[in-house]
């Protein structure tokens, strides 16, 4: 599926520790920052998640909500959230369903071995479920500020 700005964001159903079923429609009335990251408790993913945590009050003031997604288990997410006091949900996408829907699975290489992994990506979805902004192949430094500026522009 080709994602297009100013079109309906792909609808999804997923699970988090606090909600056995969470959908895109669960966020209706809120601007959703949907971010995909490779792995819990790794340096870049921790920096990114803590950045959203540190900006969470500002995000809430803009009628925003945050949902992080990786292929880690609910148990791993629970430990990660607790360790870093993350105030938002993390979705366990172990089958890669959401990752495929948002086209974030990419070929990567580590130590000469190729594998399919999550390309760090963020999507900003407005209160009506419309995809307003996409960031692909995210570099963490400065990213949270970019997302905040785009979020503020929606209000």
In a domain, 78, yes or no: yes
Question: Looking at the 3D structure of the chain, how many domains does it have?
Answer: 1
In a domain, 113, yes or no: yes
Active site residue 50: no
In a domain, 103, yes or no: yes
Segment 67-90, tens digit of pLDDT: 999 999 999 999 999 999 999 999
Segment 113-155, tens digit of pLDDT: 888 889 999 999 999 999 999 999 999 999 999 999 999 999 7
> Domain span at residue 58?
13-154
pTM: 0.95
Query: What CATH number does residue 133 fall under?
Result: 3.40.30.10
In a domain, 20, yes or no: yes
In a domain, 2, yes or no: no
In a domain, 6, yes or no: no
In a domain, 4, yes or no: no
Q: Within 13 Å and on the Cβ side, how many CA atoms surround 132?
A: 20
- Catalytically annotated residue among 45, 50, 62, 99: 45
């Amino acid at each position: 599926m080709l994602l297009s700005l100013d079109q309906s964001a792909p609808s999804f159903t997923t699970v988090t520790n606090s909600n056995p079923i969470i959908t895109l429609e669960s966020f209706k009335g809120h601007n959703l920052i949907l971010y995909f990251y490779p792995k819990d408790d790794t340096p870049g993913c921790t920096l990114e998640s803590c950045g959203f945590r540190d900006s969470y009050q500002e995000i809430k003031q803009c009628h925003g909500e945050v949902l992080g997604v990786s292929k880690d288990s609910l148990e791993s997410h629970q430990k990660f959230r607790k360790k870093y006091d993350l105030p938002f949900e993390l979705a366990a996408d172990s089958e890669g369903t959401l990752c495929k829907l948002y086209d974030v699975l990419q070929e990567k290489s580590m130590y000469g071995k190729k594998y399919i992994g999550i390309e760090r990506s963020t999507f900003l979805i407005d209160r009506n479920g419309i995809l307003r902004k996409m960031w692909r192949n995210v570099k963490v430094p400065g990213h949270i500020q970019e997302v905040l500026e785009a979020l503020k522009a929606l209000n």
